[in-house]
Structure 1
């Protein structure tokens, strides 16, 4: 099986990670609330960060040849359980039923300073 790294320009090239990796029809993606033009973590609380994270996820899955409708699984990492309601409100703007399978985990902190949310996703392309 061939594994292909897909670059969207969202993840800094200096980081030892891929924006997305495709193996066969499956694509694994990562997204954070980073402005792809400046590299800065966006402001706007959990709603603003969730929106930018999902916009970046959308960019990554499109670079792989799919859309958010191809996403079958999402892992959400939050630094505060109180952010779940705001994250869910924005999440509903990007996904419709049947929703991807999802796990939401509260962690002590995320690597980038000021980051409140990070998402990993799996998409299956036709």
Structure 2
């Protein structure tokens, strides 16, 4: 039987920030919330950067590195923001360690422009 480790919790919901099992790390969708839990108002560039910084924080606090990220799921509310998002995404992932990615348009549950989840893997 494999061990399952939960990393961090949501302050108001029964959700872990990430769950690790057999070398796989599943990161919950991150949004542009600051350290006080407030959503960042602003353009896609600012929201994408904060969302990706939040993703980096969860990944690294769980003992992984961004180069371990193998898949990213991205939801954006306005497809016209796709190019701005891609510019910011390239700041966090280089070509050598680029994950597989899906990007779709979606209605956000909270008042933001973007949500990103991820799956990472590293050998034990």
* Pairing 1:71–2:69 present: yes
Matched, 1:3 2:1: no
Q: CA deviation at 1:65?
A: 0.5
Q: Which residue of 1 aligns with 2:100?
A: 101
Unaligned runs of at least 5 residues, structure 2: none
Residue 61 of structure 1 aligns to a residue in which SS? helix
- RMSD over aligned CA atoms reads 1.2
User: What TM-score, normalized to structure 1?
Assistant: 0.90
Count of equivalent residues: 120
The Cα of 1:12 is off from its aligned counterpart by: 3.4
- Is it true that 1:41 corresponds to 2:42 in the alignment? no
In the alignment, structure 1 segments of 5+ residues that lack a partner are none
- CA offsets per residue over residues 27-48 of structure 1, 9 Å max, x none? 011211111x211111331001
The runs of at least 4 consecutive aligned structure 1 residues that moved more than 4 Å come to: none
